[in-house]
Structure 1
Amino acid sequence: MTLKRRRILISLGLCLLLAACGDGINWQTKGIAGLMPPLRFALTEDSGNPVQAKDFRGHITLMYFGYTHCPDICPTTLAKLKAAINRLPESAAQNVRVLFVTVDPKRDGLERLRAYTAAFGPQFVGLRGGDAELTQLTKRYRITYGYGKPDANGDYEVSHSSAVFVFDRSGKARLMVRDSDGVDALAADLEHLESTA
C-alpha cells in the first residue's frame, strides 16, 4: 500500500470517527454530542449556597462564561438566550436553566451576580468559584479568558470565549451556541431537545 493511499484511508477513518460522534440530528446550532464532557462542577450559587451540576439534572441547562462588568458581549448573549427561552411553550421554558459562570470573581460578588442574572429572568443563575474551581471548569470546556491592564480607576476588561454550551436533562453536552446563531434557531433547538429529552 502506498503512503498516499494510507493517508487517504486514515483521513477517511478520521472523518467517519468524527461523524460518529454526532447524534444524527440536523441541529440549527452546532451539535457537539460526544465532543465535550458532561456537565460537572462544584461552585457557589448567587444565593450563597454551594451547588453542583447534579442539582440541575432534569433541566435543559445552558452554561455561559462571562462577567457582570462586560460592556456588550455578555448582556447581548444573555438577552438572546432570554429571547429564545421566551419563544418556548411555557412548559418547556420552565425546564430550562441558564448558568452564568463569572470569570471575574474578584469583582463579581454574590449580590452583584444575583442582581445581574435576575435582570434576565428566573431561569438565570449566577455561579462563582475560587481560582482553582474556575481554572478546572474552564479547562474542562476549553474556555479561555484573560484580564486587561487596569486603568487609573482600577477598572479592567476581561477577554473571554463567547460560546454557550447546552446540556440535556441527564447532563450530556449536546449543543454549542455561537454568536452567529439566531434566536429562532436556538429556540427551535431548545424546544426539540426538551421534547426529546
Structure 2
Amino acid sequence: MQMDFLHRGANAIRRPAILLRARRAALGLFAVAALAGCTQHDSTPWQLTDVTGHLPDLSFSLTADDGKPVTGATFKGRTSLVYFGYTHCPDVCPETMARLMQVLAKLGPDAQQVRILFITVDPARDTPKALHDYMAAFDAEHARGLTGTDAQIESMARKYRVAYQMEKRDPNGDYEVTHSSAVYVFDANGHARLLATDHDSPDVIAHDVRRVIESPSS
C-alpha cells in the first residue's frame, strides 16, 4: 500500500505548474509513512497511513465560520479530520466532504467524538459566512470551516506539506485552486495519527478513526 502513496497523495493536482511541489510534498509524506511503519507499536496494522510522531500536532490560529478566532487547542477532546479545500471547488472537495459524511454515518454514536475541520486554501473568497453556508450543506453539527490571512493559510499548509496554487482567472474573473487532497486524522490530544487519501474507502477510514477514538495517544 505504501508504494502507491506517492501517486495517490497528490491525485487532486491537475496542473503542471504545481506538480513538482505536490510530488515533493508526497515524497516527504512517503518518507514519513516509511518511518512510521518502523515504529508501529500496535500489533494490528493500520489500514490508513500511520504518521504517528512524524507530523506536527494540530496547532494554528485561524478564524472559524462563525467569525470567532480559534486555535488547535479549541478542538482538543475530539478526533479531528482535517481537510484543505475551498468552497468553489468543482469536484474533489464536495466528493471528499460527501465521503466524510459517509464515515460519520458508519461511526454511529462515535461520530459525536469527531470534528471535520475544512481549512480553506482560498481565503480571498472563503469568508466565514461562505464557509458556514458550505458546511451547513453537509453537516453543520460536525463540520467547521476555517479561514485566515494568506500568511496563516500558507504557514499551516507548509507545516502539513499541503501543496496548493491559484490558477489563471477566466474572463469572468473566476478561478480554480489546485490542491492536494489528503485528509489528516488527529486524535483527541491533537497528535497527528493517520493520513487518508481518496483511494481509502469510508469503511476503511471509519475503521481506523474508531481505533483512534478508542486509543488516543498520550
Task: Please report the TM-score for the alignment, with normalisation by the length of structure 2.
Answer: 0.80
CA distance in 2: counterparts of 1:133 and 1:23, whole angstroms: 34
From 166, 172, 175, the counterpart of 2:185:
166
The range that moved more, 15-24 or 41-50, is 15-24
Residues 178-189 of structure 1 mapped to structure 2, 5 A cutoff: 178-189=197-208
Does the aligned pair in 2 maintain the 1:68–1:116 contact within 8 Å? yes
Would the alpha carbon gap of residues 131 and 26 (structure 1) be closer, same or farther in structure 2, given more than 3 Å must change? same
Would the alpha carbon gap of residues 99 and 190 (structure 1) be closer, same or farther in structure 2, given more than 3 Å must change? same
Amino acid in structure 2 at the alignment position of 1:123 = H
SS of equivalent residue, structure 2 residue 107: coil
Amino acid in structure 1 at the alignment position of 2:49 = K
From 50, 75, 97, the counterpart of 2:94:
75
Does the aligned pair in 2 maintain the 1:29–1:186 contact within 8 Å? yes
SS of equivalent residue, structure 1 residue 85: helix
Would the alpha carbon gap of residues 159 and 23 (structure 1) be closer, same or farther in structure 2, given more than 3 Å must change? farther
Q: Deviations over 1:149-194 (max 9, x none)?
A: 0001000010001001000010000000111000100111111111
From 94, 106, 115, the counterpart of 1:97:
115
Q: CA deviation at 1:119?
A: 1.4
SS of equivalent residue, structure 1 residue 97: strand
Does the aligned pair in 2 maintain the 1:22–1:34 contact within 8 Å? no
> Is 1:156 aligned with 2:150?
no
Q: Taking every aligned residue pair, what percent have the same amino acid on both sides?
A: 45
Aligned residues: 182
Which structure has the larger Rg?
1
SS of equivalent residue, structure 1 residue 78: helix
Which ranges of structure 2 fall in alignment gaps of 5 or more residues? 1-32
SS of equivalent residue, structure 2 residue 214: helix
Amino acid in structure 2 at the alignment position of 1:39 = L
Q: CA deviation at 1:19?
A: 3.7
- 2:11 is aligned to none
Q: Deviations over 1:106-156 (max 9, x none)?
A: 111111110101111111000001011111101100111001100010000
Aligned Cα root-mean-square deviation (Å)? 1.6
- 1:147 is aligned to 166
Which ranges of structure 1 fall in alignment gaps of 5 or more residues? 1-14
Q: CA deviation at 1:196?
A: 1.8
Does the aligned pair in 1 maintain the 2:87–2:134 contact within 8 Å? yes
- 2:9 is aligned to none
Q: CA deviation at 1:16?
A: 9.1
Would the alpha carbon gap of residues 16 and 43 (structure 1) be closer, same or farther in structure 2, given more than 3 Å must change? closer
CA distance in 2: counterparts of 1:28 and 1:17, whole angstroms: 16
- 1:66 is aligned to 85
CA distance in 2: counterparts of 1:186 and 1:114, whole angstroms: 25
CA distance in 2: counterparts of 1:18 and 1:100, whole angstroms: 25
- 1:7 is aligned to none
> Is 1:113 aligned with 2:131?
yes
Does the aligned pair in 1 maintain the 2:36–2:50 contact within 8 Å? no
CA distance in 1: counterparts of 2:99 and 2:62, whole angstroms: 25
CA distance in 1: counterparts of 2:34 and 2:100, whole angstroms: 33
